Amino acid sequence: MKNVAVNLCRLLLSGVFIFSGFVKAIDPQGTQYKITDYLQALHLGGLLPPLATLGLSVGLAAIEFCLGIFMLFAIRRKLTTRIVVLMMAIMTPLTLWLAVANPISDCGCFGDAIVLTNWQTFAKNVVLLVAALVTAKWPKEMFRFVSESNQWIVINYTFLFVLGISSICLYYLPLFDFRPYHIGTDLRQGWQQMMEGEESPYADFFIERTDNGEDITEAVLSDSSYVFLLVASHLEEADDSRLDLLNELYEYAKEHGYLFLGLTASGEQAIERWRDMTGAEYDFCHTDDITLKTVVRSNPGLLLLKNGTIINKWSCNDLPEVEEELTAKPLEQLEIGTMGADSVPTKLLKLLTWFVLPLTILVVADRTWMWTKWVRRKRRKLLQNVGAERILHKSE
């Protein structure tokens, strides 16, 4: 019973830590925003610069994901279980404070994939703390999937994989988009539901002109043609390395009669500075900065709408290029004008191919090698016993 209890606790911890670490790793900026919220709740908002909070975000995701894999494979059992107990001993009182004081509505432990209330998070952490204490009490009851001599392969591969995933999602966009602004979302329908008083995640989504404050949200979402939305929560911090592409896209949109708007929470001074620096001729509108950070994890990022539906979205590092020979063609005839591939099964298959499959092959190879060693050892022992019996028989 002790063996069963320990390994059930071990599987629970590994599953939660792997999932929690993974959803943080694929959305480092989202985790960074949550860390900033925590610091502000503790009145430490200006303590760390953005680069430091981003590093904390990536580091936290890597630690959680690696600990989950190490628990699953029973790697460095004593050390791993003690670190897990330490983490839960820190997080459990913290989430109790969140539940009581409620400075933040969502702890962010599972990113945007699963949103828990603060009391639900505290209850979850109590269960995980108990499970961690059980595994730390009897770590040797956790059976291994790989031998000690091959553990270094799992350790290094897991570490490189989670850092690689975070880097890719930082440079482009999150691999999985759990937010209400993913490709294929009908913003017009969601916004209309909100306007009719129904529960909707678009309560803070609005588009207002900077010159007169006119709300043009309905007009933009009702446009039957294509609409380009350049999303930059704060122009003062926006990446300006791809300005030529942005201006080319604006000229292309202007030529074909497509609306091209910039959405920002920055003031008029920052907008004018951006225009002077980039030569931008497109109009800017005001939108809530938290909403803009939710829409696309890039500053700036680009959205393409049609009939209020998100057709495509790009980070500033992956802006679409319209070749000179294609500028005469409308978006309907171009790849960027079609619904972007956002197939979850395809992405899961890639993850299985690049991470799960290699580790599965390693486990099978390792267990086969250990089994052949056991067979050889048994055979050698059997031969030694047979030899001893023959010697004894001759002596008699």
The pair phi, psi for residue 51, each rounded to 5°, is -65, -35
Sheet of 259-264: strand order equals 208-209, 283-286, 259-264, 226-232, 301-306, 309-315
> Does 227 lie in the same domain as 107?
no
What pLDDT digit, counting tens, does each position of 346-376 carry?
A: 888 888 888 889 999 988 998 888 888 877 7
What pLDDT digit, counting tens, does each position of 191-233 carry?
A: 888 888 888 889 889 999 988 889 999 999 999 999 999 999 9
> Does 263 lie in the same domain as 136?
no
For residues 232 and 263, the answer to whether their CB atoms sit within 8 Å is yes
Q: Which of 341, 368, 391 is the last residue of a domain?
A: 341
The pair phi, psi for residue 242, each rounded to 5°, is -120, 40
Angle (CA) 208 196 206, round 5°: 15
> Does 137 lie in the same domain as 27?
yes
Name the 3-class secondary structure at 239.
coil
Q: Provide the domain count of the chain.
A: 2
> Does 232 lie in the same domain as 126?
no
When the pLDDT of each residue in the chain is averaged and rounded to a whole number, the result is 90
Answer yes or no: is 310 within a domain: yes
> Does 152 lie in the same domain as 280?
no
Answer yes or no: is 346 within a domain: no
Q: Which of 316, 341, 366 is the last residue of a domain?
A: 341
DSSP 29-48: HHHHHHHHHHHHHTT-TTSS
Answer yes or no: is 290 within a domain: yes
Q: How far apart are CA 59 and CA 20, in angstroms?
A: 13
pLDDT category, 301, cuts 50, 70, 90? very high
> Does 203 lie in the same domain as 137?
no
pLDDT category, 340, cuts 50, 70, 90? low
What pLDDT digit, counting tens, does each position of 48-92 carry?
A: 898 999 999 999 999 999 999 999 999 999 999 999 999 999 999
Cα–Cα separations (whole angstroms), residue 15 to 21, 108, 128, 349 = 10, 17, 11, 19
Exposed/middle/buried for residue 185 (C-beta within 10 Å: 0-12, 13-18, 19+): buried
Q: How far apart are CA 325 and CA 66, in angstroms?
A: 48
Q: How far apart are CA 261 and CA 326, in angstroms?
A: 22
> Does 314 lie in the same domain as 191?
yes
- pLDDT computed for residue 388 by the predictor: 61
CATH code for the domain of 305: 3.40.30.10
What pLDDT digit, counting tens, does each position of 30-47 carry?
A: 999 999 988 888 888 778
Answer yes or no: is 379 within a domain: no
Cα–Cα separations (whole angstroms), residue 190 to 82, 131, 204, 276, 340 = 46, 41, 12, 36, 20
Answer yes or no: is 383 within a domain: no
> Does 191 lie in the same domain as 165?
no
> Does 89 lie in the same domain as 196?
no
Q: How far apart are CA 222 and CA 202, in angstroms?
A: 16
Unique residue bearing structure tokens 């791809």 = 242
Answer yes or no: is 370 within a domain: no
> Does 142 lie in the same domain as 96?
yes
- pLDDT computed for residue 391 by the predictor: 63
> Does 193 lie in the same domain as 163?
no
Provide the residue type at 24 as one letter. Answer: K
Provide the residue type at 263 as one letter. Answer: L
CB atoms within 10 A of CB 189: 15
Q: Which of 341, 371, 390 is the last residue of a domain?
A: 341
Answer yes or no: is 235 within a domain: yes
> Does 122 lie in the same domain as 226?
no
Q: Looking at 14-28, 166-180, 258-272, 379-393, which range is the least confident one?
A: 379-393
Answer yes or no: is 358 within a domain: no
Produce one character per residue of 155-176: b if its CB has 16 or more CB atoms within 10 Å, e if not.
beebeebbbebbeebbeebbbb
Where in the sequence is the domain holding 36, given as residue range(s)?
2-171
Q: Name the E strands within 233-383.
A: 259-264, 283-286, 301-306, 309-315
- pLDDT computed for residue 395 by the predictor: 60
